Amino acid sequence: MRNENQFEQIKIELKKHLKPHRFNHTLGVVKMASKLAKQYGIDVQQARLAALLHDCAKNFSNQEMLQVAKDAKIALDPIMLLEPQLLHGPVGAVVAKKTYHVHDPEVLSAIACHTTGKCDMSLLDKIIYLSDFIEPGRDYPGVERLRHDCFEKDINSACKEAFDNTISYVISIGGLLHPKTIEARNYIIIEDKYQFEKDC
């Protein structure tokens, strides 16, 4: 029961720090990550913990985000400097470790890459990335289809669809695309079509 106690303790702390809508979103991501973990046969407790903490740094100001990132020696690229909120993934992993005492590298990876995706994502990384998009509180064009495809298609097709949605949306608002999102999408296509290993 140690895992469940840890989960409940973190949940109590997060409720104090996150805005109510963010906390409710987090609980939605936990629910979805749990379902997807069962569907794809991975550790449900690990998925629930990563989901619980995925937005633990979302309440940080841009200045705080950049400071924690610099202190933790997170590589800051030009896009992250211009859009510091993209850092809430990598910074969240630092906070999960330092504040919430989570040391599982797979959980920390899933938290770190949930904002942009990355090359060669693990099954847990993909599940957290997708759960963030399809939790019950999400409502945007294409969400029903993505929800359906997460369970009825394979995980890579669902991830590609989520990357496509994100990339199309960012283009539609004239925003900055992060290269890691492009790399993540390319990797999945290469993995599926060409079955070959690529260094990122």
Our finding on whether 132 is near Fe ion (CB under 5 A) is yes
Our finding on whether 135 is near Fe ion (CB under 5 A) is no
State the nearest-atom distance from the C-beta of 82 to Fe ion, in Å. 18
Backbone angles phi, psi at 162, to 5 degrees: -65, -40
SS3 content of the chain, % helix, strand, coil (to 5): 70, 0, 30
Q: How many residues lie near Fe ion (CB under 5 A)?
A: 2
Q: Which of 69-77, 125-133, 139-147, 178-186 is the region at the interface with Fe ion (rule: CB under 5 A)? A: 125-133
The residue (of 125 and 132) whose beta carbon lies closer to Fe ion is 132
What residues contact residue 14 under an 8 Å CB cut-off, 6+ apart? 23, 26, 52, 53, 56
Per-residue string for binding with Fe ion, 50-69, x by CB under 5 A? -----x--------------
The residue (of 55 and 161) whose beta carbon lies closer to Fe ion is 55
The residue (of 132 and 161) whose beta carbon lies closer to Fe ion is 132
The residue (of 33 and 119) whose beta carbon lies closer to Fe ion is 33
State the nearest-atom distance from the C-beta of 45 to Fe ion, in Å. 19
Q: Report DSSP state, residue 85.
A: G
Classify burial at 122, counting beta carbons within 10 Å of its beta carbon; exposed 0-12, middle 13-18, buried 19 or more. Answer: middle
Helices 88-98 and 44-53 pack at an angle, to 10 degrees, of 110
Residues that bind Fe ion (CB under 5 A): 55, 132
